[in-house]
Chains A and B, each alone.
Chain A
Amino acid sequence: MSKIKPRGKVPKKASVDEIIEIKTLIRHPMHSGRMKDKNGKNIPKRIINKFLVKFNSKQVFVMDLEPSISTNPYIAFPYKAKETGTFDFEWTDDNGEKYTMSRKMTVS
């Protein structure tokens, strides 16, 4: 199976009160539990069920995902830049694993 790899795009610089757009994508099969493999066997359900964003350790955005979300979930959302800091992204897998990523942003 291909490796699960998070990716994200956060502007490096922003001005105060600017609404920036953050784009994230994680490579993940998102098995809904309804698909079958080549031998006709059901592939067990395995999805990313939670996506959490923190800015300077403060929670700003949470998304709960269901099996109806596509393979390689893409999530884009806005953020109002106020101060320089770090975004921490965290994806939670059905099997309990967590995938994390950090991005810095400078606000001037």
Chain B
Amino acid sequence: MKRQKMIMISRRDIMYLLGGVASTALFSNYALAKPNLALKRIKEISKNNVEESDLFLDVPEIAENGNQVKVSFDIDSPMTNDDFVKTVYLLADGNPAPNVAKFSFSTDMGACSATTRMRLSKTQNVYLLAEYNNGKFAMTKSKVKVTIGGCGG
């Protein structure tokens, strides 16, 4: 008697089971195709109004140590009151968080460039997004191969 009870599966049980399978499939799919947080963030900041441009983003092609990766950029701009770069965002799509840094420039600087060092947890794309004073956005990206990741954990 006991054994029979175990085998009995009602229609409702099957529905539950199917539901479970479907959601697992969905979830694993989600895990495989992780959304690109950096691109999502770029869309958020620029309100989807961004052009790919050849801004100068200098990152190494191969970084042996992901803890200290030198990043520098140079954006060609006259930096006058009529035409200047307001903000520059640095993003990465493989780090735990997409944001890396935000630079707010002023016309007093005479040029739009900066250098810093960042962490990269694995091989990934580094994005540069520039916001001009006229509300336009421009971006560029560059891939960095990382031998040893540098985000801890």
Contact = CB atoms under 8 A, between A and B. Distances in A.
Interface residues of A, number: 30
B110 interface: yes
Interface string B79-94: 1000000000000100
| A interface SS class | strand
B139 to A, nearest CB: 18
Given A63-B114, A74-B115, A74-B116, A69 B101 contact: yes
B100 A68 contact: yes
B117 A74 contact: yes
Most buried by B among A32, A58, A59, A74: A32
A64 B119 CA distance: 15
B152 interface: yes
Interface residues of B, number: 34
B116 A60 contact: no
A78 B75 CA distance: 12
B125 interface: no
Most buried by B among A35, A59, A68, A76: A68
Contact of A78 (B104, B110, B151, B153): B110
B104 A32 contact: no
A10 B92 CA distance: 30
Nearest to B96: A34
A65 interface: yes
Given A76-B115, A77-B113, A80-B108, 14 more contacts: A19-B111, A34-B152, A34-B153, A63-B101, A63-B102, A65-B101, A67-B96, A68-B101, A69-B116, A70-B68, A70-B150, A74-B117, A76-B114, A80-B111
The 10 closest A-B pairs by CB, nearest first: A80-B110, A35-B152, A76-B115, A64-B102, A62-B104, A70-B117, A78-B111, A68-B100, A34-B153, A77-B114
27 contacts: A17-B110, A32-B119, A32-B152, A35-B153, A36-B152, A58-B108, A61-B103, A61-B104, A64-B103, A64-B104, A66-B101, A67-B119, A68-B97, A68-B99, A68-B120, A69-B116, A69-B119, A70-B67, A70-B118, A70-B150, A71-B68, A74-B117, A75-B114, A75-B116, A76-B72, A78-B110, A80-B110
Interface of A: 17, 19, 32, 34-36, 55, 58-71, 73-80, 82
